[in-house]
Amino acid sequence: MQLNVKIIEMRSTEKLLLILLLVFTFQANSFAHSLLLKDSVPGNNDKQWISPAVIFASGGAIAGIPALRKIEKSVYDGFNPTRKLTSIDDYTQYVPAAAVFAMDAAGLKGKNKPQQQFLLYALGNVTAAVIVQPMKRIIGRARPNKSDFHSFPSGHTSTAFVAAEFLHQEYGHYSPWISIAGYATAATTGYLRLYNNQHWLGDVLAGAAIGMASTKFIYWMNGKIKEKKKTAAQAF
């Protein structure tokens, strides 16, 4: 209820920002439904890599090009400086993944068995972390709140989008609304990182792209391994 009240009380600039994040999110999933209908292995279609690449390029450009950094400053100025910060983003980043295991427990069958799901999810997070953590230290961008120089890219947002893509891969074939709900939750995490003065807009977009791409990559690899095993079995 408290979060709902905060959303209602947002300034128009903040509302516009949330809408933009959601648009980026849904665009990143624009090929998802058709991919799932065409093939049981999502990684077989190269088009799925376009959206993460575009989103990362957008985040990098906004963060790195002085003229575009005005967008980040405008977003930063759109928040009420007396707002009360929240720690809910520490938890929302895991909600889409928790939904996968909750549906498993409810008896719904995902694309993989729970043990395999856990492994794929873990590998997605490891892949994202291997990319995000070195980048934070190499780039050394200061956070808006000046707490450190590990702002780009956003780790929380990356984790959230790993989870959202994980939910999509496992249960998106039941309904596109499952994928939309997962990505909306991940986008909310990204928004809250901005709201809490922890990240700039470019950081959040880059983190979202890395999270999605990391999980897509792990599922692509898993699909290739399954194909090889199937081919080997048929050979005998």
Q: What is the CATH number of the domain that holds 68?
A: 1.20.144
Report the pLDDT value the prediction gives residue 47, as an integer from 0 to 100: 81
pLDDT, mean of residues 194-207: 96
pLDDT at 165 over 70: yes
What's the pLDDT band for 228 if we cut at 50, 70, 90? confident
Q: Residue holding tokens 């405008």?
A: 74
Residue 52 lies in a domain: yes
Residue 209 in any domain: the answer is yes
In a domain? residue 230: no
Residue 94 near residue 157, CB atoms below 8 Å: no
More confident site: 4 or 87: 87
Phi, psi dihedral angles at 59 (to 5 degrees) = -65, -45
Segment 100-140, tens digit of pLDDT: 999 999 999 999 999 999 999 999 999 999 999 999 999 99
Model pLDDT, residue 21: 54
Percent of the chain exceeding pLDDT 90 equals: 72
Give the per-residue pLDDT at 233. 72
Provide the domain count of the chain. 1
Q: What residues contact residue 136 under an 8 Å CB cut-off, 6+ apart?
A: 150, 151, 152, 153, 155
Which residue range is the domain that position 219 belongs to?
2-225
Tokens of 95: 């909600």
232 lies in a domain? Answer: no
- Measuring CA to CA, which residue among 3, 4, 64 is closest to residue 206? 64
**Is the predicted pLDDT of residue 60 greater than 90, yes or no?**
yes
- The pLDDT score that the predictor gives to residue 204 is 97
9 inside domain: yes
pLDDT of residue 40: 39
Question: What pLDDT is attached to residue 117?
Answer: 97
Question: Is a pLDDT exceeding 70 seen at residue 26?
Answer: no
Q: Taking residues 6-16, what's their average pLDDT?
A: 47
pLDDT category of residue 229 using cuts at 50, 70 and 90: confident
125 located within any domain = yes
Residue 236 belongs to some domain of the structure = no
Q: Is residue 44 part of a domain?
A: yes
pLDDT at 112: 96
